[in-house]
């Protein structure tokens, strides 16, 4: 695993070969990021990442500064997860930056809007946040619900503003009218 700084705090990434095993959404402390990673990658130890993994870490850090990112080609170690979860994650990965989908829309794409709760549960188990951009999934009518990462719904809203899916509000503007991030 590798821990690295972002504008939101310390994030982390665990890998096996060329596949990502887990991502830690930024936390306030290294120990919290490491603990979150170890839930999905028990026994992971801090080490220098190979170049391809280091590039993903750099892109994640850049995302929190507003840099465009595209994680669609990143390989995930997801075979041990239920097929339903993997399908939810596949659909979620297809949501482009700056766009939102609802739990109901994903459920309908899976065959039945009644799957909405199951979609939310699958996203709650997502070990690959940011690469599987669960922050782009919202409740009906755009309600900011169901975000278990550090910072909760406020972090989700902040990230969606960075990606351009939500407009900045009064509290996002600095004294000179420029956007705060």
Active site residues: 134
Q: In what order do the strands lie in the sheet with 9-16?
A: 2-6, 9-16, 19-27
Token pair for residue 122?
């699958």
SS3 of the chain: the string is CEEEEECCEEEEEEEECCEEEEEEEEECCHHHHHHHHHHHCCCCCCCCCCHHHHHHHHHHHHHCCCCCCCCCCCCECCCCCCHHHHHHHHHHHCCCCCCCEEHHHHHHHCCCHHHHHHHHHHHHCCCCECCECHHHEECHHHCCCCCCCCCHHHHHHHHHHHHCCCCCCHHHECCCCCECC
- Residue 151, token pair as written in the block: 């910072």
């Amino acid at each position: 695993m590798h821990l690295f700084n972002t504008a939101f705090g310390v994030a982390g990434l665990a890998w096996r070969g060329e596949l990502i095993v887990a991502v830690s959404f930024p936390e306030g402390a290294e120990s919290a990021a490491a603990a979150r990673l170890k839930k999905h990658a028990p026994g992971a130890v801090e080490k220098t990442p190979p170049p391809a993994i280091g590039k993903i870490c750099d892109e994640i850090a850049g995302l929190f500064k507003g840099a465009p990112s595209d994680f669609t080609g990143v390989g995930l170690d997801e075979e041990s997860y239920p097929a339903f979860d993997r399908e939810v994650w596949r659909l979620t990965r297809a949501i482009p930056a700056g766009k939102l989908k609802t739990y109901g829309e994903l459920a309908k794409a899976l065959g039945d809007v009644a799957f909405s709760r199951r979609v939310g549960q699958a996203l709650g188990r997502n070990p690959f946040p940011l690469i599987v951009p669960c922050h782009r999934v919202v409740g009906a009518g755009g309600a900011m619900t169901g975000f278990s990462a550090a910072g909760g719904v406020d972090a989700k809203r902040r990230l969606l503003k960075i990606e351009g899916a939500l407009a900045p509000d009064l509290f996002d503007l600095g004294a000179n009218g420029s956007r705060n991030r």
